[in-house]
Amino acid sequence: MARKKGRSASESAESRALVRAAFELARSLNVSKLLVQTDELRDIALVDLLRESEQLIWLIRGSIELPLAGRSSDVILHMPETRLTQMSQLKIALLLSVMNKQVDLDDSVICLSGVAGSERLDALLIANARRSFPWLRERNVEDIRSLFAPREVAQLIDIALRLAAEGREGKPVGTIFVLGGEEQLEPYLRQLVLNPLEGHPRRARSIHRPDFFETIREFAGLDGCFVVNARGVVQSAGTYLDVPTKRAKLRSGLGARHAAALSVTAVTGAIAIAISASSGTVTVFHEGRPILELERPALPSTA
């Protein structure tokens, strides 16, 4: 496997030691899958040379091209470009791997990660989806995969993390994204202001359009939420969630915005993603409970 363009072939001592330890551990525990944070490797061939029959899931931020070394089982999983904490990166990687049918709920996987931008691996973790996500314990994997639109969920998480990290003038922007069926959500929606997105072409309102992010950033300052359909088209902004508040135990510091996000997912099959304006924490809700919490990413480097 060719090394990444512009990277030295010399790998750090920590990375070399962790990669060797990861494969030794995998074989001693009969673990067949490894998640590798590729951006923090200087020489990706190091991993490929030490493997035997293990499947590798390469975690990549941004649009780096990574040729696979003739291993048909290998997978490239594109991660949010924001500089997440190591645990947040691994949470997202594990969830997306399950949703994309690369990892089963009861699979144990070994994860290799490093601090974003450090170009070295410094952490090794054994993870299991059921252990890491308590809400998964009550479901089978096909139920979960039928509930989620992986591409849209991943993109909305990415957008939410960018708003949390960059926000306005370096401060997080608090808002909610609700992803779900229009008919199911309609009884619980009310416009606080005229819908600023009404009348614009669907393609211009797609969350997958890079140039649409600035529009989202501008409208995130409105009270209310963004409503997004299953195809990733934003239907409205400044939308009030008119839903009875469900009594639920929220973590200290989470208020009305998070209660509304939780409540709408309790009465519909929607997924809601809330950004805390005070801490920048991003929380994903489903079925009336928080299922994923991600710390505010680091601000982009100005160097």
Say how many Å lie between the first and final Cα of the chain, rounded: 31
Distance of alpha carbon 275 from the chain centroid:
13
Range with the poorest average pLDDT among 6-15, 76-85, 89-98, 101-110: 6-15
Cβ burial of 37 (10 Å; 0-12, 13-18, 19+) is buried
Model confidence pLDDT, tens digit, residues 62-74: 666 665 555 667 8
What tokens does 227 get? 């409503």
Q: How far, CA to CA in Å, does 173 sit from each of 31, 227, 289?
A: 41, 17, 22
Between 252 and 93, the more confident residue is 93
Model confidence pLDDT, tens digit, residues 117-164: 888 899 999 999 888 777 777 766 676 666 666 788 889 999 999 999
Could you tell me which of 89, 8, 79 has the C-alpha nearest to residue 41? 8
Q: Which DSSP state fits 186?
A: G
Question: How many angstroms separate the CA atoms of 297 and 166, rounded?
Answer: 9
What is the average per-residue pLDDT within 79-100?
A: 84
pLDDT band at 83 (very low <50, low <70, confident <90, very high): confident
In the chain the domains, ranked by start, together with CATH numbers, are 13-143 (3.40.1380.20), 148-294 (3.40.1700.10)
Model confidence pLDDT, tens digit, residues 4-54: 444 445 678 888 999 999 999 999 999 999 999 988 888 878 888 888 889
pLDDT band at 171 (very low <50, low <70, confident <90, very high): confident
Q: How far, CA to CA in Å, does 168 sit from each of 31, 207, 219, 277, 279?
A: 44, 19, 12, 11, 14
Return mean pLDDT, the chain: 84
Model confidence pLDDT, tens digit, residues 181-237: 888 999 999 998 999 999 999 999 999 999 999 999 999 989 999 999 989 999 999
Model confidence pLDDT, tens digit, residues 105-125: 889 999 999 888 888 899 999
